[in-house]
Amino acid sequence: MSKTKNNTKFSTKTIHVGNKIDETGAAVTPLHLTSTFRQPTFSSSEKFVYSRTGGPTIDALEENFAMLEDAKYSFAFASGMAAMSAIFLMFKPGDHVLISKNVYGGVFRLVTKVLNNNGVDFDFIDTTDLNVIKKTIRESTKLIHLETPSNPLLEITDILAVSKICKSNKILLSVDNTFMSPYGQKPLNLGADIVMHSTTKYIGGHSDVLSGALMVNDKKSAEKITLIQNTSGALPSPFDAWLLLRSIKTLSLRVEKHFSNTMKIAIWLKKQKKVTRVIYPGLKEHPQHSIAKKQQKNPNGNTVFGGIISFELEKSININKFAKKLNFITLAESLGGVKTLISCPYSMTHASVPKKEKETLGITKNLLRLSVGIENVDDLISELDLAINH
Ligand SMILES: Cc1ncc(COP(=O)(O)O)c(C=O)c1O
């Protein structure tokens, strides 16, 4: 790695941290495609032994990942869900876990269809309400898991306030920081113990790699996660790790553009008669706008509001006909890539959430989630105009 100083800026570090130049002098960190490593003797314990445990490309990525969240330790995973599973595997039967109620649908499915049978108790609660958190905590509560902003309703939980409750009750706090990316929010610096990312999203940024990450400062948690990551075979491939190292070099540029495009589209959507609801934390009427302003900061200390908007079309609009008129905006799951994607949480990401639950949450059939890309924003707006108004 090139040496960084205490005052080296975030965008410089994204390019240099972990990106070692080896003895060949190659300017880009080499990709080591190998499943095993030669050992000097039968009894030696070298740094790299077998690729399920680690290797030079993963090592470079994990060094970079830790820097992204100002963490001491970081762990690469084959997907965001593998990272999420590793968090839950840290707990044992009898332990109790609290989770944000409108968490990503895949987490809901993992908990209700798989982990519920393993003896850990889970409760889904409104983590934006601190009183609800305080009331639901039990003696056996060991973890609170937040998603902020949440998916797809973009509810914001006050990370610092929840971390204070956690500390006074000796509970770990984990935060899914996928939606803001490390460019827009730093949960560890707000008192969280574990940060989780689906790096499939902004960190990968090009919709071409599936991966996840955990970042922590505490040695005991790091040891537990190391064991889980290795024994469960959850590492990404070296090739995916190399792609991520490449992508992270442009994280600051990309995310800044995602966020500025999104603000412009949110303001435009608000003026459309056929749009009945616009949910974006950057709008003053968003219920947690002031919390977003406080905790969502870019590396320059400026407030940022994210790259996702959810909006509802009036009932008379058939959303499939609407989608057929789109060109650059692609109907697909996922988010955080350079290309703008649109999805319908009701039938896609949240398909496994019971209908009644979706109704209570406000996830209606005509609610669409837009992951704004880095195309020219005028092209995106004229396309939305055509699909909504013509
Ligand atoms: C907020 C959030 N967390 C976790 C995940 C799961 O990540 P992955 O698809 O990489 O397993 C997703 C996926 O969409 C997500 O949006």
- Per-residue pLDDT band at 145 (split at 50, 70, 90): very high
Q: Is the CB of 240 under 6 A from ligand 1?
A: no
Q: Which CATH architecture has domain 252-389?
A: Alpha-Beta Complex (3.90)
Centre of ligand 1 from the C-alpha of residue 4, in Å: 31
Q: Is the CB of 225 under 6 A from ligand 1?
A: no
Q: Which atom of ligand 1 is nearest to the CA of 107?
A: 4
- Per-residue pLDDT band at 44 (split at 50, 70, 90): confident
* Averaged pLDDT for residues 202-220: 98
Catalytic amino acids? 52, 104, 176, 201
* Averaged pLDDT for residues 7-31: 95
Q: Which CATH architecture has domain 10-248?
A: 3-Layer(aba) Sandwich (3.40)
Centre of ligand 1 from the C-alpha of residue 2, in Å: 32
* Averaged pLDDT for residues 67-79: 98
**What is the predicted pLDDT for the residue at 2?**
58
CA distance 235 to 238: 9
Q: What is the mean pLDDT of the chain?
A: 96
Q: Where are the domains of the chain?
A: 10-248, 252-389
Q: Which atom of ligand 1 is nearest to the CA of 84?
A: 4
Query: Nearest C-alpha to atom 7 of ligand 1 is from which residue?
Result: 80
- Per-residue pLDDT band at 133 (split at 50, 70, 90): very high
Give this prediction's pTM: 0.96
* Averaged pLDDT for residues 313-333: 96
Centre of ligand 1 from the C-alpha of residue 294, in Å: 25
Segment 224-283, tens digit of pLDDT: 999 999 999 999 999 999 999 999 999 999 999 999 999 999 999 999 999 999 999 999
- Best residue for ligand 1 mutational test, from 102, 148, 200, 247 (most atoms within 8 Å of Cβ): 200
